[in-house]
Amino acid sequence: MTIASVQLVPCVQALSDPQWKFARAKVPQLEGWVLALEDDEGHRGLGYCHAIPAISTHGAGALAGLEFLSKTLVGRAVEDLAATLEEIDASLAYQPTVKAAIDMALHDLLARRLGVPVHVLLGGKLRDAVALSRILPIKAPEEMAAIAERLAAEGYGQLKLKLSGDTPLDVKRVAAVRSAVGDDVVLTLDPNQSYNAKQMIGAFARMERYDIALIEQPVPAADLAGLALLTRTLPVAIEADESAQTVRDVFRLVSERMVDVINLKVTNLGGLRRFLQAVRICEAGQVGCRMGAAFGPALLQAMSLQAACVIGRLPYACELSEHLHLQDDPFTPLPAQAGRLHLPGGPGCGVSFRA
């Protein structure tokens, strides 16, 4: 009943759109790592290490962290999940995406040993599916409108527009998308820190007519005062993303009521255990939770879906379908159906390496 072996497998995926861009970088491909743990009875648990230099870390840095930590896993009891993760967390500063991969693999391995879905280890599901929001990368207004029209026709009821910080052009992007999808699709905005607070107030005055539901991280991550100012000032939900990188960050944002919603990601927070801590803080402080986009294969989205299904309230759609525009996915499919992602059947996270 111990971990018998550890394997690290590179996972390189191109994006279907090589020009995919957000305010901080262009993302032509992903260079992540899959961590596979096997116990002495042949059960296998899988985790994914997210490695995008502009967001988390680069591939070589991820590999170094995984190699350093994973060598301590062999011989450990599979059931000692909490103790193992506490030791992992204390053994290496930072590197949350590396720790998240180990956390996922340990949960997946234990769940498969027990013959239950991962969500059972997290307290049990409250829903069987989540509504999905799709992301529109930064492009010319007419190109974003065309993408939005296609996604709305596929059944997605919420779309997120990446913005650049160029107010006149961003207003045109919002106007074009709203015209393309009509009134029934929920629109949210993500400037990825490209505005300051006063600029965002001015920009929103020009965008408000297009019925915006939420604005994600409009100001730099360190500008908590700016986030709080926008939350108090604008008649729209303000969401933290880059400002919420740790459980401690989440606690401060909630306790001082700086935002209305927090974008929570398993990769940013260091795994499912820390993710659940952040969820409970948000729930106690009556701040909304949302599962945000963490680019990666079906494995990463399946793990995030297991976690999303134990959250008490999800006031906005989640971004768990970004694997659908990645190529060369090494895992079994996790398809979206009419704008929703359904929990897959079977033990563990519900997906596995393709045969």
pLDDT (mean) for 333-342: 96
Check pLDDT > 60 for residue 355.
Answer: no
pLDDT of residue 16: 87
Choose the final residue of a domain: 80, 115, 150: 115
Exposure b/e, 324-345, CB count within 10 A at least 16 = b: bebeebbbeebebeebbbbbbe
> Is position 352 within any domain?
no
pLDDT in tens, 165-201: 999 999 999 999 999 999 999 999 999 999 999 999 9
* CATH number where 102 lies: 3.30.390.10
Q: How confident is the model at residue 295 (pLDDT cuts 50, 70, 90)?
A: confident
> Is position 350 within any domain?
no
Q: How confident is the model at residue 250 (pLDDT cuts 50, 70, 90)?
A: very high
Q: Within this chain, do residues 160 and 295 fall inside the same structural domain, yes or no?
A: yes
Q: Distance (Å, rounded) from C-alpha 345 to C-alpha 349?
A: 9
Q: How confident is the model at residue 23 (pLDDT cuts 50, 70, 90)?
A: low
Q: Within this chain, do residues 130 and 105 fall inside the same structural domain, yes or no?
A: no
Check pLDDT > 90 for residue 26.
Answer: no
pLDDT of residue 330: 95
Report the candidate in 141, 136, 5 with the shortest Cα–Cα distance to residue 75: 5
Domain count, the chain: 2
CB-CB contact of 112 with 38 (8 Å)? no
Q: Within this chain, do residues 205 and 236 fall inside the same structural domain, yes or no?
A: yes
Q: Within this chain, do residues 130 and 239 fall inside the same structural domain, yes or no?
A: yes
> Is position 272 within any domain?
yes
What pTM was estimated for this model as a whole? 0.94
Domain that includes residue 291, residue range: 121-342
* CB count in 10 Å sphere of residue 309: 23
Q: Within this chain, do residues 130 and 219 fall inside the same structural domain, yes or no?
A: yes
Q: Which residue type, as a one-letter code, is found at position 328?
A: D
pLDDT in tens, 48-93: 998 877 776 777 889 999 999 998 999 999 999 999 999 999 999 9
The fraction of the chain above a pLDDT of 90, given in percent, is 87
pLDDT in tens, 87-138: 999 999 989 999 999 999 999 999 999 999 999 999 999 999 999 999 999 9
> Is position 349 within any domain?
no
The radius of gyration of the chain's CA atoms, rounded to the nearest angstrom, is 20
> Is position 348 within any domain?
no
pLDDT of residue 25: 66
Q: Within this chain, do residues 25 and 165 fall inside the same structural domain, yes or no?
A: no
pLDDT of residue 31: 87
pLDDT (mean) for 312-318: 96
Q: For the chain, what is the mean pLDDT?
A: 94
Check pLDDT > 60 for residue 262.
Answer: yes
Signed CA dihedral, 134, 137, 139, 141: sign only:
positive
| Strands 21-22 vs 129-131: parallel, antiparallel or unpaired | unpaired
Q: Within this chain, do residues 171 and 108 fall inside the same structural domain, yes or no?
A: no
